[in-house]
Amino acid sequence: MADVTKVEVASRLRLFRDNKVVYDQPFSMAATTYVEHTADRVILATNMAVPQEYNLGGVGTGKYFMATSDGPILVALDNSANTWTLGIAPDGGVVTAISAFTHVYFQNQSTTNTVTVDVVVSDKSA
């Protein structure tokens, strides 16, 4: 039997005006069972000419993606030609995505600094 991780995703949206709550909406999905998942720390070299593919570590088709970086990088899901910027120099950032994907790409364009990326990918079982 495969390892099983259960996670409950929850969030809350609060809007304030003049320090008063004008909107407060909690959101909670039902508990979700993940069969395949991977969590890694990747060090990206400086001056990467093209995006490099991240090994999903046993996850066939990812559903949930989360990455944090300590510097600006380019990130892409499925197609390395469609990247978006994570973070603004000199700081990094955090991104989460819910989508069906089979490839993840990272690129560090800095000519002077390596970038550390923590990444978590999981599937969503039926």
pLDDT, one tens digit per residue, over 22-64 is 777 776 656 566 778 888 999 999 999 999 999 988 888 998 8
Residue type, 21: V
Mean pLDDT, the chain, whole residue set? 84
pLDDT at 13 over 80: no
Judge if pTM exceeds 0.85. Answer: no
pLDDT band per the 50, 70, 90 thresholds, residue 5: low
pLDDT at 15 over 90: no
Please report, for the chain, the start and end positions of each structural domain, with discontinuous segments joined by +: 35-122
CATH number corresponding to 35-122? 2.60.120.10
Please, are residues 126 and 104 in contact by the beta-carbon 8 Å criterion?
A: no
